[in-house]
Amino acid sequence: MLVPLTLVAIAVLILIDSWPSLTAFGFSYFTTTEWDPVKLVFGAAAYVYGTLVTTIVAVLLATPIAVGAAIYLTEFAPRAVRAPAAFTIELLAYIPSIVYGLWAIFVMVPVMRSVVEPGLQASVGQLPVIGKLFSGTPIGLDLLSGGVVLAIMILPILTAISREVLLAVPPTQREAMIGLGATRWEAVSRAVLPYARPGIIGGAVLGVARAFGETMAVTMVVGNSSRDISGSLFVPGYTMASAIANQFVEADSELYFSAIVEVALVLLLVGIIVNSVARVLIRRSIADRPAGAVI
Amino acid sequence: MAVTAITPSGAIPARHRVVARRRIAQSAVVGLLLTATLLAVALLVTILAYVIIRGLPAINLAFFTERPRPFGEVGGGIAPALIGTVILAAASGAIAIPVGIAAAIFVVEYRSGRFAAPVRFAAELIAGLPSIVIGVFVWAFLVRGLVGHFSAIAGAVALAVIMVPIVARTVEEVLKLVPNSLREAALALGAPRWKVILSIVLPTARAGVLTAAILALARSAGETAPLLLTALGNDFFSTDLLRPIGALPLQIYRYAVSPYDDWHAKAWGASLVLVVVIGAVGLLLRVVARQRVR
């Protein structure tokens, strides 16, 4: 009984603490970017934007790699390689977030700054519309780096779930297609993947749930300074979780504190919604196997 | 594959060309898939290699026995953070393991009861919450509320909230594996439900329950965000549950964002210690699990 009570207590305490901010700013909290502890005006739009951008970057990068690896490891890899390789990728999930952050600051960010970001700027950055995403000075500590770290961090769970879902596809699906003279890839793309699609989408949604609440590694590379919405990936930003981590302890007035707790309230609500959606999708694909129990 | 006679003119029949095209498509796709797999594996290898190569030079005896020196001074160690992590693990385990086991028992043994569904649902929702949100909750509940300041016990409670769903979910799976005939035999002998659980079901599932507890401890050992808001960190030796306490992840964070090279080296060293401990536990569990299957 302690478990549901804890959940209720979490929701109630966070709601109470964010009440002053809720009543003071109402909906403008989500539409304005001004976050000024001196004037006591708080709008979290820039944090929401940062979270959305890093999460989208993460999912766009991680999903093709994870699904590709899962397909290879269930359908094409030599049998002896399958389990060890899958286990190796799942090991990524055991590395603590803080270690990803450390690695990202000292290894990934310099590479992003000197190689990846100038490279992107010189190539896709020249295109008319998308180019705007890659404008500005490549500094490494920005929204793109935040997204890349998140992509690495959600890779194992996405791979694990996609693999579970693919393993749960009945062999008859493949056999029927191959019996008709299809190549293995034709069987996979036309008979296996459509069957597994809801589960794979569910895995991606669960990846979203992981990514938007992840704090430490993102906080360490996302820049934590600019509060404007510029449309470029090469600007330092804030995510909702990093805003809490950075400012929670320094909040010195009641309204400031309350505004930060409201960020936590948003994370709480989105977390509950996204996780529920993901679980429904995955359950539909995997009969009675526990989703995420792999990790 | 259909065997088609080569036409006298020597041209390859259209049917063969189609097959060839399909084969090439397959090879191209498999190549892409293999690249994705290799990329994922390479990421793990790279990260681990960096942690080992940069972490090893920082490791020496003082690293494990001394407390951190003030900045500017080279040397010292991370002993308070190590002790802090052990204390936090013990305290959070003492809270989370019994609660998690109890929750699992509710869900499995009292399946038809009124409580089973809400307990399971709540555990799943808590498992999905960002850990920083749990930190905010424990801050409001303990740091500002019951205790009044940052403290080890608040950190332990925050970790416990994260661990309970992990313990509950894993123990649930283990309890489901206990054969029903065992329960029925005990019930037929007239044993009350609670006695069946305590003296038949739990002892049978002992190994699995232990695995669940260790898994949850390993997962919580790397948590940083909630500790920032609760345990705070402490460079001095402290075993007092009511005072702020250090922890490995907090130490790594503080050193990583500092501008000092010596501290960066220590952050790598501490990361190596953390990864080795968690990795060793993970491998151990896997070996044990495999033996049990045999």
Looking at the partner chain, which of A9, A69, A98 has a beta carbon nearest the beta carbon of B224?
A98
Task: Provide the pLDDT confidence category of residue B294 given band limits of 50, 70 and 90.
Answer: very low
In the three-class reduction of DSSP (H, G, I as helix; E, B as strand; rest coil), residue B4 is classed as: coil
Task: Provide the pLDDT confidence category of residue B15 given band limits of 50, 70 and 90.
Answer: confident
Both tokens assigned to B206: 């002992």
Output the pLDDT for position A295. Answer: 32
Inside any domain, residue A292:
no
Task: Provide the pLDDT confidence category of residue A62 given band limits of 50, 70 and 90.
Answer: very high
Q: How many domains does chain A have?
A: 1
In terms of average pLDDT, the best of A239-248, B105-114, B236-245 is A239-248
Flag if B129 and A213 touch (Cβ within 8 Å): yes
Q: Which fold has domain B79-248?
A: MetI-like fold (1.10.3720)
CA angle A56, A61, A64 (to 5 degrees): 120
Q: How far apart are CA A110 and CA B44, in angstroms?
A: 19
Taking CB atoms and an 8 Å cutoff, what residues of chain B touch A264? Answer: 132-133, 136-137
Q: How far apart are CA B252 and CA B81, in angstroms?
A: 9
pLDDT at B272 over 60: yes
Distance between B67 CA and the closest CA of chain A, angstroms? 21
Distance between B169 CA and the closest CA of chain A, angstroms? 8
Between B38 and A139, the more confident residue is: B38
pLDDT at B11 over 70: no
Tell me if chain B has a CB within 8 Å of the CB of A222: no
State the residue range of the domain holding A53: 46-253+266-285
Output the pLDDT for position A286. Answer: 64
Region A121-136: what's the mean pLDDT? 79
Burial track B44-53 (b if 16+ CB lie within 10 A, e otherwise): beebbebbee
For the whole model, what pTM was predicted?
A: 0.86
* Ordered DSSP codes for B107-166: HHHTTTSTTHHHHHHHHHHHHHS-HHHHHHHHIIIIIIIIS-S--HHHHHHHHHHHHHHH
Residues in contact with B192: Cβ distance below 8 Å, sequence separation at least 6, in sequence order: none
Q: How far apart are CA B4 and CA B20, in angstroms?
A: 14
Distance between A156 CA and the closest CA of chain B, angstroms? 8
Please give the share of chain A, as a percent, with pLDDT higher than 90: 15
Output the pLDDT for position B52. Answer: 93
Counting beta carbons within 10 angstroms of the beta carbon of residue A167, is it exposed (0 to 12), middle (13 to 18) or buried (19 or more)? middle
In terms of average pLDDT, the best of B6-20, B84-98, B106-120 is B84-98
Looking at the partner chain, which of B103, B132, B249 has a beta carbon nearest the beta carbon of A3?
B103
Region of poorest pLDDT, from A136-140, B171-175, B270-274: A136-140
Taking CB atoms and an 8 Å cutoff, what residues of chain B touch A275? Answer: 124-125, 127-128
Tell me if chain B has a CB within 8 Å of the CB of A111: no
pLDDT at B163 over 70: yes
CATH number, domain with residue A133:
1.10.3720.10
Write the pLDDT tens digit of every residue in B236-263.
777 777 778 888 888 888 888 888 888 8
Distance between A171 CA and the closest CA of chain B, angstroms? 19
Q: Where are the domains of chain B?
A: 79-248
Q: If you count residue pairs, one on A and one on B, with CB atoms under 8 Å apart, how many are there?
A: 228
Write the pLDDT tens digit of every residue in B41-97.
998 889 999 999 999 988 888 788 888 877 767 777 888 888 888 898 899 999 999
Flag if A220 and B47 touch (Cβ within 8 Å): no
pLDDT at B6 over 70: no
Inside any domain, residue A64:
yes
Task: Provide the pLDDT confidence category of residue A67 given band limits of 50, 70 and 90.
Answer: very high
Region of poorest pLDDT, from A181-190, A232-241, B5-14, B107-116: B5-14
Flag if A96 and B140 touch (Cβ within 8 Å): no
Region A24-40: what's the mean pLDDT? 79
Task: Provide the pLDDT confidence category of residue A150 given band limits of 50, 70 and 90.
Answer: very high
Output the pLDDT for position A70. Answer: 93
Q: How far apart are CA B290 and CA B294, in angstroms?
A: 7
Summary mean pLDDT of chain A: 84
Tell me if chain B has a CB within 8 Å of the CB of A7: yes
Q: How far is CA B174 from CA A107, B61, B171, B194, in A?
A: 41, 41, 5, 18
Inside any domain, residue A67:
yes
Output the pLDDT for position A291. Answer: 41
Taking CB atoms and an 8 Å cutoff, what residues of chain A touch B173? Answer: 290, 293
Looking at the partner chain, which of A76, A107, A209 has a beta carbon nearest the beta carbon of B33?
A76
In terms of average pLDDT, the best of A287-291, B12-16, B73-77, B203-207 is B203-207
Taking CB atoms and an 8 Å cutoff, what residues of chain B touch A65? Answer: 36, 39-40
Write the pLDDT tens digit of every residue in B212-236.
888 888 888 888 888 888 877 777 7
Distance between A230 CA and the closest CA of chain B, angstroms? 26
Tell me if chain B has a CB within 8 Å of the CB of A252: no
